[in-house]
Structures are given as C-alpha cells and as structure tokens.
Structure 1
Amino acid sequence: MTKHPLKDHSLTDHSLSNQPRPAVAVLGLGSMGQALAGAFLDAGHPTTIWNRSDGKGDGLVARGAVRAATPGQAARAAEVVVVCVVDYDAARAVLDQAADDLPGRLLVNLTSDTPERAREAAAWAEALGVDYLDGAVMVPAPMIGTPEALIFHSGTRSAYEKYEPTLKALGGRTAYVGEDHGLAAVHDLAVLDFFWMAMHGLVHGFALAATEGVRAAALAPYVKVLADLLADMVDGTAADLDSGKFPGDLDNLTVEAANVRHIVRAAEHRGLDAAALRGVLTAADRSIALGHGADNWTSIVEGIRDPA
C-alpha cells in the first residue's frame, strides 16, 4: 500500500513518482469540499484534508484521508491542492497561509465567483510561480464523482492536461474551457443564468396555476413537454446568436411579446409578483422598437444588450 506523506509523519516535500495516483489536498470541508475529498478517495488518490474549524471530516479520515493541522501542511503533502470555500476572500485567507508551500504544485480553485476575481487569483498564483486552474462546480454535492457531474476548468492548459485524469475523478463531464482563467466563471455564470431563470419560471408557472386551484403535480407532466421543447431549441438558438441572424419565418417577436404580455396581466391580476416577466417583456419591447419585431424570439438579445 502506498504511504501517505503525513501518515509517514514527514511534512517535507516528497516524490510522488512511485504512487499510482497523484496525492491531493482538499482545503475546506463544507458539504462540497467533503464530496470532493470523498471522490478523490474513491478514485484511489492519497488525500489530505484541512478545515478552518474542527468537527468536520471524521468520516473522510475513517475512509483513509489524513487531517492536516494547517493549510501549508496539507499543501506539502500533495501534488494537487484543491480549495473550495464560501468565496474568494475566504479562499485567499486560506491560501495565504500556504503560500510558501504551493510552488511546484497545481492549485485548483473550485470556489465560485466572478471572472474578474478569478483573474485576480490567477495573477496572485503567477506571482508565486504556482500553476493555477480556476474552476466551477455545476452540480450539487451528491453528484460529485459521478459520470454526470459537470465541472468547468480554465487556466494553464499543460497543467490541466497533466492532471486531467485526477480532475475527472470529480466528474465525468469535467470540461476545460480555455487558457483565460476567467472562462470557467464565465461558463458558470452563463449556465446558471439560464438555470435560475428557468427555475423561477417553473415555480412562477406553478404559482399561477395554483391561484385557480390547479395543483403543481397536475401541471407537471405538461411542463415537462415544454421543457423538452426548450432543450431541443438550445442548439438552434445558439446558432442564431453566433450568426447574428434571427429568421422570423416560423414565429416573430411581436407575436411572442403579446403572449408574454397577457401572462404578465394575468399574473398581476391574481396578485403575483410578475417583475421577472415584466423584465422579459421590457427587453422584447425594446428589441421591437429597435426594428426586430419581424425577427424570431432570439432577437430579444438586442433588447438585453441595450438596456438604456
């Protein structure tokens, strides 16, 4: 059995050339951090864990993880250091404690934030001479380590390629999206923009039906029909946006905006908050005013891009 560096009570740099899997350290043991560490253990990686407060990670230790006393100690025990905490300020506070121990290792930041913060973190790592990948986890903790789990990574391509098998222990749909360290956050924000707007629409539609006594469970089968239709529309919408052409031969924005308008009217008449739908309608009306009334729904993007 391969010795784990801390099990051997050595806190100095070590060679991992004889190990079947690179040693990893996970800094931060919230529900996501624990899931990440658990996936590494399941994949056979010697795993060191650290958390700011006591009382977390006992189950991981029982499965073979080693608890470090400090972030620096955890980093010294690993070839790949993963940090996943509440925000970038918290991540920086943790990583500052390990700054002297990070050079020569790959730092993977799976803390969600903006592209700007990701690039700032990358500049900090570069100043230390540390290979850095920024990342975004797109699934809940229970899905980590499954073939369906999607995680974005961006940053040093050579580092990603070297450790791709290690990173894919966290999710079968792990994706590298480019050298710009901010691109994982861009993908994160864009996909979640769609997700949360869709979730709002789902709940809002159920709430609208409920005002007339229709139970959500009764409406659900019909919502699924439209959800399947939406999934089928993704590629075509993307193609229209990338080409900048919005053919309105099958539908047009003027007609679709009228449909949204009567939903807004019905929702407000029933005392529901229709602010999000009003935002959709405002963008559509703005696009129509810009001359896109005869174009398809995707031309609403012009009203989104020009909110003035």
Structure 2
Amino acid sequence: MRPGRKRKLYRTTSSIPDNVAGTTDTERRTAPPPFRERRGSRANAWFQGTAMLRTAGVDTATYAPFAKQMAAGVAEWLPGHAEQIDSGSFPAEVAALETHAMSMVHLIEESERLGVNAELPRLFKAMADRSIAAGHGGEQYPVLIEEFSKTA
C-alpha cells in the first residue's frame, strides 16, 4: 500500500462464512471482497478476446452476447473442477493439460500476429509448462491449482 493511503474496509458480513473470515465483525469487515465482487480478474480472458476481435473489425457489443454464452458454458464445468481440486485427483476426462498447452501456443501466436498483448496467455502457458515438466501433462486442466498455490 502507498504511504498516506488508508486501507479500504469491505462490509461483507453476510457474504463470507464465519469459518473463512473469522467470527468477529472486525475480521469480517477487513476481509477481502467475496469472489462475486472480483470482476476484474474474470474479465481478463474477455479483454483478450475483445482485443483480438477488434483487429478484425468486430465491435465489442457484437462479441459480448457470444462471450456471455461461453462464460455460462464455462460455469457448468466448475462443480467438476472443484471436485477434482478438493480430491487432489485430476483424471483427463475431457482433455489433458498438454492439449490445453497447445491451444495456449496458438492463442499466443495469434495475439502476437495481430499485435495484441500476449502477456496474459504467456503467463498461463508458463504455468502449464511448469506443471507439465512436473509430470502433470496427462492430467486435466484443474491440476494447474498446484501452480496457483505456489508462492512466487
């Protein structure tokens, strides 16, 4: 935090369970906002797609309904991914991480070809590469939780 800045307190007492944010009002008020309030990070893939499509003359308003439909489809995967993460077992029921990594290469190459910033896809590709190097290439995408859980 920058000097002279006060820490923002979040009033989330009804959104965060006691076992996550503590049981006192102060602990709940100072806890980070709940997931539904962290919209920025979930929008990053949409920004990447939007930037790429804009190079082809597709306006954002045209892309938004399609992206909304895709996001709803992704949301359907979450319960299965959560099961895998909680169990620590990541069988490749749909596709192996190695397959996803090949798609990431394509996204990076296309972004660069179009002159669109590819930092975000390169970050995920680097995480996938580390996971594959650790022997997880044949497992499903949620195995990346292992990389997300590491300190930098």
The alignment's TM-score, normalised by the length of structure 2, stands at: 0.79
Percent identity, aligned pairs only, is 26
Which of 83, 88, 103 is the aligned partner of 1:239? 83
Give the Å deviation of 1:236: 1.9
* Aligned partners of 2:16 and 2:28 also within 8 Å: no
Secondary structure at the counterpart of residue 268 of structure 1: helix
- Structure number having the greater strand percentage: 1
Rounded to whole Å, the distance in 1 between the matches of 2:140 and 2:43 is: 23
Which of 287, 290, 293 is the aligned partner of 2:134? 290
Secondary structure at the counterpart of residue 6 of structure 2: helix
Rounded to whole Å, the distance in 1 between the matches of 2:30 and 2:76 is: 25
Which of 229, 243, 255 is the aligned partner of 2:99? 255
* Aligned partners of 1:253 and 1:288 also within 8 Å: yes
Rounded to whole Å, the distance in 2 between the matches of 1:264 and 1:212 is: 17
Which of 40, 56, 60 is the aligned partner of 1:212? 56
Rounded to whole Å, the distance in 2 between the matches of 1:289 and 1:274 is: 22
Give the Å deviation of 1:213: 1.4
- Per-residue CA deviations over 1:120-152 (Å, capped at 9, x if unaligned) read xxxxxxxxxxxxxxxx35xxxxxxxxxxxxx3x
Rounded to whole Å, the distance in 2 between the matches of 1:266 and 1:247 is: 30
Q: How has the CA–CA distance of structure 1 residues 275 and 307 changed in structure 2, closer, same or farther, with 3 Å as cutoff?
A: farther
- Structure number having the greater helix percentage: 2
Which of 176, 187, 193 is the aligned partner of 2:17? 176
Q: Given residue 122 of structure 2, which amino acid in structure 1 is its aligned partner?
A: R
- The number of aligned residues is 145
* Aligned partners of 2:90 and 2:139 also within 8 Å: yes
Q: How has the CA–CA distance of structure 1 residues 193 and 281 changed in structure 2, closer, same or farther, with 3 Å as cutoff?
A: farther
Which runs of 5 or more residues in structure 1 are unaligned?
1-88, 92-110, 113-135, 138-150, 154-172
Give me the CA root mean square deviation.
2.9
Rounded to whole Å, the distance in 2 between the matches of 1:211 and 1:184 is: 42
Rounded to whole Å, the distance in 2 between the matches of 1:196 and 1:284 is: 22
- Per-residue CA deviations over 1:104-134 (Å, capped at 9, x if unaligned) read xxxxxxx34xxxxxxxxxxxxxxxxxxxxxx
> 2:112 is matched with which residue?
268
User: Is the counterpart of residue 196 in structure 1 residue 40 in structure 2?
Assistant: yes
* Aligned partners of 1:210 and 1:216 also within 8 Å: yes
The alignment's TM-score, normalised by the length of structure 1, stands at: 0.42
Give the Å deviation of 1:271: 1.4
> 2:31 is matched with which residue?
185
Q: How has the CA–CA distance of structure 1 residues 238 and 249 changed in structure 2, closer, same or farther, with 3 Å as cutoff?
A: closer
Q: Given residue 238 of structure 1, which amino acid in structure 2 is its aligned partner?
A: A
Secondary structure at the counterpart of residue 301 of structure 1: helix
Give the Å deviation of 1:277: 1.3
Q: Given residue 185 of structure 1, which amino acid in structure 2 is its aligned partner?
A: A
Which of 139, 145, 148 is the aligned partner of 1:301? 145
Give the Å deviation of 1:184: 6.5
* Aligned partners of 1:252 and 1:294 also within 8 Å: yes
Which runs of 5 or more residues in structure 2 are unaligned?
none
Mapping of residues 35-46 of structure 1, within 5 Å = none
